[in-house]
Amino acid sequence: SDELKIAVGAMELADKIVEQVMTYIDDVFMLSDETILNAPMIAEIVQIGYTRIPVYSGGDRNNVTGLLIVKDLALLDPDDNFSVRTVCGYHQHTVKYVFNDTPLAVVLESFKKGDGHLAMVKRVHVGEEEEDPTYDLVGLVTLEDIVEEILQAEIVDE
Residue with smaller CB distance to ligand ADP, 31 or 82: 31
Residue with smaller CB distance to ligand ADP, 51 or 81: 51
Residue 19 and residue 139 in contact, taking contact as beta carbons nearer than 8 Å: yes
Determine the distance from the C-alpha atom of residue 23 to the mean position of all C-alpha atoms in its chain, rounded to a whole number: 8
Residue 23's closest CA among 154, 134, 142?
A: 142
Q: How far is the CB of 154 from ligand ADP (least distance, A)?
A: 19
Q: Is 129 helix (H, G, I), strand (E, B) or coil?
A: coil
Q: Rounded distance, CA 140 to CA 97, Å?
A: 9
Q: Does the footprint of ligand ADP cover residue 97 (CB under 6 A)?
A: no
Q: How far is the CB of 139 from ligand ADP (least distance, A)?
A: 8
Q: Does the footprint of ligand ADP cover residue 18 (CB under 6 A)?
A: no
Q: How far is the CB of 36 from ligand ADP (least distance, A)?
A: 19
Applying the rule CB under 6 A, the residues between 37 and 56 that interact with ligand ADP are 50-53
Residue 119's closest CA among 100, 97, 135?
A: 97
Q: Does the footprint of ligand ADP cover residue 145 (CB under 6 A)?
A: yes
Q: Does the footprint of ligand ADP cover residue 29 (CB under 6 A)?
A: yes
Does an H or E element contain 2, and which? helix 2-11
Q: Does the footprint of ligand ADP cover residue 27 (CB under 6 A)?
A: yes
Q: Rounded distance, CA 111 to CA 67, Å?
A: 16
For ligand ADP, the binding residues (CB under 6 A) are 23, 27-29, 50-53, 140, 142, 144-145
